[in-house]
Structure 1
Amino acid sequence: MVLQRFPHSAVVWGYADSGSKISLFLKNKEYNSITENKIGYKSPVWRIQIDPISDTNPFDLEFTETKTDNKTSKIYLRNILFGDVWLCGGQSNMQLTLNVTEDGQQEFTIAHEFKNKIRLFTVQQHFADQPQYDLLQIKQNWSEPSLESLRSYGWEYFSAVCWHFGKKLSQNLEHPIGLIVNCWGGSEIERWMSPDMLKKCDIPNTNSNHSQLWYSMIHPFLTFPIYGVVWYQGESNTWYNRDKYGCNFESMVSKWRELWYENTKGSTNPSYPFGLVQLANSEKEGDFVDKWAWTRWEQTSGYGYCPNEKLKNVFMATAVDLIDNGDDPIHPRKKSDVGIRLGLGALNLGYNKTLEFAAPRVKKVIEEEKILRIEFQSDFGRFEFDEKKYSINKKGFDLCCDTDDCFKDDNMNWFVLKDFQVLNDSVLLEKPSGCTKSKYVRYLWRHKPCEYKMCPLYSKTSSLPVTPFLSEVVLSGNRGMRVNFNYVNYFIIFFIFCFTTNHV
């Protein structure tokens, strides 16, 4: 087991007879708790909050129960580490285990190297119709990394993404890491949200599946301090409430943080780091624009990158270029890239390590006579363009012009821009001869935008890909604007209202 380390306090709790006193002696200090009857718990419960511990060596914890008749008994928790606990959540791409990935076999031979550095835990999938205060089932109890704990038949344990993520952290930190896998293949985000979270985004409380996994698989952990969360989910929402995903994700992240902070009595950071994986492809062929591209956009709340104003202290590992052309493309088999990219984000935002975790992002798109200039922010270094990669698929950039219907489903108003140049921190695009007024430019707006690690633009220093973006085009000298479709719609309605009012 891993309990949350310094600077936060660890919390341990359990069941005992009514009125019993539970004592723990640790590092020259005695902790005591009296059992209480609490709503939702199956038996009287005790709770001990341990002072922050920075030691990295294993501990044995001895608990003594003194009953009301003064009889005593002891319980031992052995080989306990104090470290940072991360929850790995989502659907099947987080659930996918090392034994069925292309880059998983080698991990079994090195597992022993992380014996005193990483611990593993996997939650059994189950659902409930009301909040649970304890897990109904456990698939894999706390374990040291080994061939047996990392490799199971089928999709039992251990999550490939979660393992590679934890390993990346362990290789760059001096203390233990606890990994909790908590996911369900095919689940929509609404199933991981409480009714209050759904209400914030105007999601009707009419679907019986909503909140079931929140009740059964998340709620029991709210009293257990954690350091952060990584999240690989969104595929199922491509066909269900896709346009609400941005709001739902914001609401879920915000409320999870708030409730973990409250229920651990301040032992969890109220703005703990939260990582997400931007979706890869789901089909072998994907030279078309569809809902998948819009889901990626919704994952970032319409910014194209993280962190941003709506998703603060949220980092993103894109899988847009991690394409798999195998028999099951929706589950890319090379998971080490995803875990490592998540690790880079966590080390930067969660541990203040000066590691590049994202490629340069678009700043603005400017129309200059016959060209379009895309300027990038260089916070995360410079990017580079590989002509050999781009020659395979000259479909990175699209332009919409001379219409107010850029976002119709038929995509008939978009031009594919095949010719461009890279100049310092900018990309120069040649405007089509038939385009009078440029409206929007988008990048990698395809179901399958490129082959494996073969997209046009990558960071020169980290080799991370520039992520998909959608940006309004402005005239030279004006500042660029982030696309917000609600504002676009409000403007159209306001314009129509003013026009009709002035012509009555």
Structure 2
Amino acid sequence: MAALLCVVFILVASIHDSAGQLRFASYYGDHMVLQRAPEKAVLWGYGPEGASVTVYLLGSVVQKTSPVPVTKGTWRVTLDPVEAGGPYIVLAATEDSTVSLTDVLFGDIWLCGGQSNMYFKMSEIFNASEEMALAEKYPHVRTFMAALKQSETELTDLIGVEIPWSVPTKRKVADFSAVCWLFGRYMFDILKYPIGLVESCWGGTPVEVWSSSRALKQCGLEENGNGPKVNSILWNSMIHPLLNMTIKGALWYQGEANTLYHQDLYNCSFPAMIDDWRMSFHEGSGGQTALDFPFGFVQLSTDIKNSTDDYFADIRWHQTADVGFVPNSLMPRTFMAVAIDLPDPTSPFGTIHPRDKQDVAYRLTLGARAVAYNEKDVHFLGPFPNQIMSSEMYINITYDQKVSVKPSKDVFEICCSGIKAPCGPKSNWVPAPTMQWDSTSVQLSANVCPPTDVVAAVRYAWRDWPCDFKACPIYCASGVLPAPPFVFSRYPGKRHLW
């Protein structure tokens, strides 16, 4: 130990002479978080061709890696597993040059991606001043943000850094993603060890720009869009460079840009992107990032009140691969924060940008605790139907858990049809008032259909803005988690339960 420290001090002394010859990649820095055990953290950077690089870890645990050569201008090492904690110093050294990272912690790294609702800043949320004032109480929740840059080819490193790794202060979290920061803060309260948050998102972007050509090909989306919708243009510049990083999981808030762009393929493109990210991060980290790493996302909130369009409802359904809930067989190890009950009609940033990101982040933490951290008895799923029965007068919906019910006149709808065929957006959908309910079921009126028609389908919250703030009809028994939207048919064509 003493001998190793002596060598390190000698190396540090030489840093002023030749630091420019050796450096870490763009997303390493002082105050950063590296992924904790049992995974191994990957470190890489640049150096003079042919040189050998040795990496030292100094702290409560001391490591020295075997020398690795600089090949084609880059070097890379994988540390042995390190338990959560710190701080550490990380040194990379050649024979005549040394670079260092100080105040490095080991914990869990979460990547936060998507469009403007993930980009939405802490300074813009409800109670922003009070929330940001808490930042300094969480010195072990560290933040990093990639610069908003585009590339037509896959890059090895980020073009730029918007926010370098930082110890949180009120000022430093002000411009950071609210959903990402709040999630990290809430998770630290549970886990009690460091959390690293990496923000890489861009407002107004469809899923296609964040997806590799491999993933898009699976869904027949090989043709490029125009301008900011060029396929893979942000995957290339803001995701692909991060693949060498060992991460715990990812969070995603996106879909608004796809309500009018390749909407009908989102049930393929979104799951395909998740699968491809998992494979790519696993391979990029040398197998350290789990092949099925947990992926959490926010189901779309609201935009236009009294809109009769199905765009938002369709994307919400497609976000679950048309199953209605996650995790499911098509989207394993995923979790979802339902946000249909969090509209913000007076948001100064537009109604598409609701300011209540606290509830969104909290609901994500419930899913993370259950799916990513395997906590038992954490309730993270809202109520979902497991049986539908109908007669000429009534429709009975039985849920998979106990429910809290608020009577509704129009949030439930039924499709009245004279033919035995699936219903579509232009079918005769009519409101189905709530008649009776108990602890696990709801009874709807079916006599709103003409005598010659039958109830061909039923749907719930199938509109852009289905209910007012925290006032949807169906919640879990505690009233915390809203039921997600659904649509079911009694005829082939859509999932059916009766």
Q: Give yes or no for the alignment of 1:81 onto 2:105.
A: yes
Q: Give yes or no for the alignment of 1:65 onto 2:94.
A: yes
Q: Unpaired runs of 5+ in structure 2?
A: 1-31
Q: Say whether the 8 Å CA contact 1:123–1:138 is kept in structure 2.
A: yes
After superposition, the C-alpha distances for 1:63-95 in whole angstroms (9 at most, x for unaligned) are 2222xxxxx222110000101100010000000
Offset at residue 101 of structure 1 (A): 1.5
Q: Give yes or no for the alignment of 1:33 onto 2:33.
A: no
Letter in 2 for 1:101: I
Q: Say whether the 8 Å CA contact 2:392–2:447 is kept in structure 1.
A: no
Q: Which region of structure 1 is more displaced relative to structure 2, 88-97 or 98-107? A: 98-107
* Number of the residue aligned with 1:251: 272
Alpha-carbon distance in structure 2 between the residues aligned to 1:219 and 1:149: 26
Q: Say whether the 8 Å CA contact 2:404–2:479 is kept in structure 1.
A: no
Alpha-carbon distance in structure 2 between the residues aligned to 1:373 and 1:289: 27
Partner SS, residue 65 of structure 2: strand
* 1:442-457 map, 5 Å: 442-457=459-474
Offset at residue 131 of structure 1 (A): 0.5
Offset at residue 370 of structure 1 (A): 2.3
* Number of the residue aligned with 2:157: 134
* Number of the residue aligned with 2:5: none
Alpha-carbon distance in structure 2 between the residues aligned to 1:299 and 1:55: 33
* Number of the residue aligned with 2:194: 176
* Number of the residue aligned with 2:284: 263
* Number of the residue aligned with 1:291: 311
Q: Say whether the 8 Å CA contact 2:153–2:236 is kept in structure 1.
A: yes
Cα 1:407–1:236 change in 2 (3 A) is farther
Q: Give yes or no for the alignment of 1:48 onto 2:77.
A: yes
Percent identity reads: 35
* 1:453-492 map, 5 Å: 453-461=470-478, 463-473=480-490, 483-484=494-495
Partner SS, residue 239 of structure 2: helix
Partner SS, residue 243 of structure 1: helix
Offset at residue 250 of structure 1 (A): 1.1
Alpha-carbon distance in structure 2 between the residues aligned to 1:25 and 1:329: 50
Offset at residue 367 of structure 1 (A): 1.4
Cα 1:431–1:407 change in 2 (3 A) is closer
Letter in 2 for 1:223: N
Letter in 2 for 1:421: Q
**Alignment RMSD (CA, Å):** 1.8
Alignment partner of 2:121 out of 77, 97, 101: 97
Offset at residue 318 of structure 1 (A): 1.0
* 1:107-122 map, 5 Å: 107-115=131-139, 117-122=140-145
Alpha-carbon distance in structure 2 between the residues aligned to 1:227 and 1:139: 22
Offset at residue 406 of structure 1 (A): 5.6
Cα 1:233–1:55 change in 2 (3 A) is closer
* Number of the residue aligned with 2:345: 325
Q: Say whether the 8 Å CA contact 1:287–1:449 is kept in structure 2.
A: no
Alpha-carbon distance in structure 2 between the residues aligned to 1:88 and 1:28: 31
Letter in 2 for 1:82: F
Q: Give yes or no for the alignment of 1:437 onto 2:437.
A: no
Partner SS, residue 170 of structure 1: helix
* Number of the residue aligned with 2:53: 22
Alpha-carbon distance in structure 2 between the residues aligned to 1:32 and 1:106: 48
Cα 1:235–1:351 change in 2 (3 A) is same
Offset at residue 482 of structure 1 (A): 8.9
Cα 1:57–1:37 change in 2 (3 A) is closer
Offset at residue 483 of structure 1 (A): 2.2
Q: Which region of structure 1 is more displaced relative to structure 2, 343-352 or 23-32? A: 23-32
* 1:36-435 map, 5 Å: 36-38=70-72, 44-66=73-95, 72-115=96-139, 117-151=140-174, 157-207=175-225, 209-283=230-304, 285-286=305-306, 288-326=308-346, 327=348, 328-353=350-375, 354-378=377-401, 382-387=402-407, 390=408, 394-404=409-419, 407-411=423-427, 413-432=428-447, 434=450
Partner SS, residue 58 of structure 1: strand
Partner SS, residue 57 of structure 1: strand
Alpha-carbon distance in structure 2 between the residues aligned to 1:440 and 1:397: 11
Aligned residues: 453
Partner SS, residue 149 of structure 1: helix
- The structure 1 segments of at least 4 consecutive aligned residues displaced by more than 6 Å after TM superposition are none
* Number of the residue aligned with 2:28: none
* Number of the residue aligned with 1:477: none
Offset at residue 369 of structure 1 (A): 4.6
Q: Normalising by structure 1, report the TM-score.
A: 0.86
Offset at residue 439 of structure 1 (A): 1.1
Q: Which region of structure 1 is more displaced relative to structure 2, 93-102 or 22-31? A: 22-31
Alpha-carbon distance in structure 2 between the residues aligned to 1:218 and 1:420: 50
Partner SS, residue 221 of structure 2: coil
Q: Normalising by structure 2, report the TM-score.
A: 0.87
Alpha-carbon distance in structure 2 between the residues aligned to 1:36 and 1:24: 13
Offset at residue 229 of structure 1 (A): 0.5
Partner SS, residue 112 of structure 1: helix
Offset at residue 184 of structure 1 (A): 0.5
Q: Say whether the 8 Å CA contact 2:50–2:71 is kept in structure 1.
A: no
Q: Unpaired runs of 5+ in structure 1?
A: 39-43, 67-71, 152-156, 475-480, 486-504
Alpha-carbon distance in structure 1 between the residues aligned to 2:446 and 2:84: 61
Q: Say whether the 8 Å CA contact 2:337–2:360 is kept in structure 1.
A: yes
